[in-house]
């Protein structure tokens, strides 16, 4: 008996046995098959809508949200550092210790004086 | 929530920074350097207090002459308006960009101008400001 003949024999025996299965057992088998098929269908067509979906969605959002918070924190640190204005401190230190007093830059009389002597 | 910790920390720190360092919180050395500002300190807002502390850090590296100039001008600088300070900074930067001989010429002119009598200075101030002074002589 080859493989095909064996399979045909098994199918025939099963078909013969099917006729002797009680009606109640057939009904329960039909119900179980239907339930199994509907579960399989649900899993294949709507996997991301499964009961785990909210949790998965939360995990997917975690990375961008964390990135946003990190960027915000870096921005805050940068802002804190920039408020000390180290460049202004350096420039102001130079202006205030320079040979020319700060009044010279604001004195309109000196501006006129320079203008008068510009061609000398 | 831990996510908001940096923001909460910043908010708390911000409130502290809004007040800035009080005079008594400065070191003895900082107080010595910034002594001309002691009376003005409560009126100086936090970012500017921070800037003065930064300036004080540069003080030890200056020559005695520069240190003297800095301290003698602190009070006046602190009492100036932000617009005046911006104007001075801009003009200072222009001066620094000039060739050394032109900078020297302006310094010389200042000494001459400074030696004038108050009447003469007043007269010059009352004169119409020059509309377009040559670049070599204008600050």
> Which of B40, B86, B35, B85 lies closest to B56, judged by CA?
B35
Provide the pLDDT for residue A57.
Answer: 66
Q: Which residues in chain A touch residue B51, judged by CB atoms under 8 angstroms apart?
A: 84-85, 88-89, 92
Provide the pLDDT for residue B133.
Answer: 47
- Which of A7-11, B47-51, B101-105 is least confident? A7-11
Closest residue in B to A114 (Cα) is B137
Q: What is the DSSP string of B105-135?
A: HHHHHHHHHHTS-HHHHHHHHHSPPPSS--T
Domain boundaries of chain A, sorted by first residue: 1-45
Provide the pLDDT for residue B129.
Answer: 62
Report the pLDDT averaged over residues A86-100: 89
Provide the pLDDT for residue A17.
Answer: 73
In this structure, what token pair is assigned to residue B23?
């005079």
Provide the pLDDT for residue A51.
Answer: 58
Report the pLDDT averaged over residues A15-25: 77
Provide the pLDDT for residue B20.
Answer: 79
**Cβ-nearest to A89 among B51, B107, B113:** B51
With a pLDDT cut of 70, the percent of chain B lying above it is 78
Q: Is B100 helix (H, G, I), strand (E, B) or coil?
A: helix
Between chain A and chain B, the number of residue pairs with CB atoms below 8 A apart is: 143
Annotate chain A with three-state secondary structure.
Answer: CCHHHHHHHHHHHHHHHHCCCCHHHHHHHHHHHHHHHHHHHHHHHCHHHCCCHHHHHHHHHHHHHHHHHHHHHHHHHHHHHHCCCHHHHHHHHHHHHCCCCHHHHHCHHHHHHHHHCCCC
Pick B108 or B128 by higher pLDDT. B108
Provide the pLDDT for residue B131.
Answer: 54
**Cβ-nearest to A118 among B59, B80, B133:** B133
Pick A88 or B136 by higher pLDDT. A88
CA of B45: how far to CAs of B16, B19, B20, in Å? 12, 7, 7
Q: Which residues in chain B touch residue A102, judged by CB atoms under 8 angstroms apart?
A: 73, 76-77, 80, 88
Contact assessment for residue A104 and residue B81, using Cβ atoms and an 8 Å cutoff: no
pLDDT (tens digit, 9 = 90+) per residue, A39-77? 887 766 555 555 565 666 677 788 888 889 999 888 887
Report the pLDDT averaged over residues A76-97: 77
The pTM score is: 0.57
Q: Which residues in chain A touch residue B127, judged by CB atoms under 8 angstroms apart?
A: 109, 112
Q: Which residues in chain A touch residue B52, judged by CB atoms under 8 angstroms apart?
A: 89
Q: Is residue B12's pLDDT more than 50?
A: no
Closest residue in A to B132 (Cα) is A115
Q: CA B102 to CA A45: how far, in whole Å? A: 82
Provide the pLDDT for residue A40.
Answer: 82
Going by pLDDT thresholds of 50, 70 and 90, the confidence category of residue B136 is very low
> Which of A107, A109, A112, A113 lies closest to B109, judged by CA?
A113
Q: Which residues in chain B touch residue A108, judged by CB atoms under 8 angstroms apart?
A: 124-125, 129
pLDDT (tens digit, 9 = 90+) per residue, B60-104? 999 999 999 999 999 999 999 999 999 999 999 999 999 999 999
ipTM entry? 0.78
Provide the pLDDT for residue B3.
Answer: 46
Q: Is the CB of B129 less than 8 angstroms away from the CB of A76?
A: no
Report the pLDDT averaged over residues B31-38: 96
Domain boundaries of chain B, sorted by first residue: 20-79, 82-139
Contact assessment for residue B61 and residue B33, using Cβ atoms and an 8 Å cutoff: no
Mean pLDDT (chain B) is 84
In this structure, what token pair is assigned to residue A47?
């996997």
Residue B107 to chain A, least CA–CA distance (Å): 6
Contact assessment for residue B54 and residue B82, using Cβ atoms and an 8 Å cutoff: no
Q: CA A53 to CA A33: how far, in whole Å? A: 26
**Cβ-nearest to B55 among A89, A99, A106:** A89
């Amino acid at each position: 008996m080859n493989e095909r003949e064996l399979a045909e024999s098994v199918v025939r025996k099963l078909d013969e046995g099917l006729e002797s299965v009680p009606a109640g057992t057939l009904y329960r088998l039909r119900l179980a098959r239907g339930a199994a098929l509907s579960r399989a269908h649900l899993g294949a067509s709507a996997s991301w809508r499964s009961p785990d979906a909210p949790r998965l969605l939360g995990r997917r959002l975690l990375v961008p949200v964390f990135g946003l918070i990190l960027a915000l924190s870096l921005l805050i640190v940068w802002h804190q550092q920039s408020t000390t204005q180290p460049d202004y401190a350096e420039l102001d230190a130079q202006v205030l210790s320079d040979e020319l007093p700060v009044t010279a830059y604001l004195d309109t009389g000196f501006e006129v004086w320079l203008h008068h002597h510009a061609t000398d | 929530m831990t996510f908001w910790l940096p923001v909460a920390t910043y908010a708390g720190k911000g409130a502290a920074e809004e007040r800035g360092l009080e005079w008594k919180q400065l070191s003895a050395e900082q107080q010595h350097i910034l002594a001309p500002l002691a009376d003005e300190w409560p009126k100086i807002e936090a970012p500017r207090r921070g800037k003065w502390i930064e300036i004080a850090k540069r003080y030890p590296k200056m020559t005695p002459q520069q240190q003297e100039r800095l301290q003698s001008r602190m009070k006046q600088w602190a009492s100036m308006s932000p617009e005046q300070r911006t104007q001075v900074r801009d003009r200072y930067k222009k001066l620094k960009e000039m060739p050394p001989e032109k900078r020297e010429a302006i310094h010389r002119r200042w000494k001459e101008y400074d030696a004038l009598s108050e009447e003469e200075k007043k007269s010059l101030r009352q004169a119409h400001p020059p509309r377009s002074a040559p670049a070599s002589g204008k600050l």
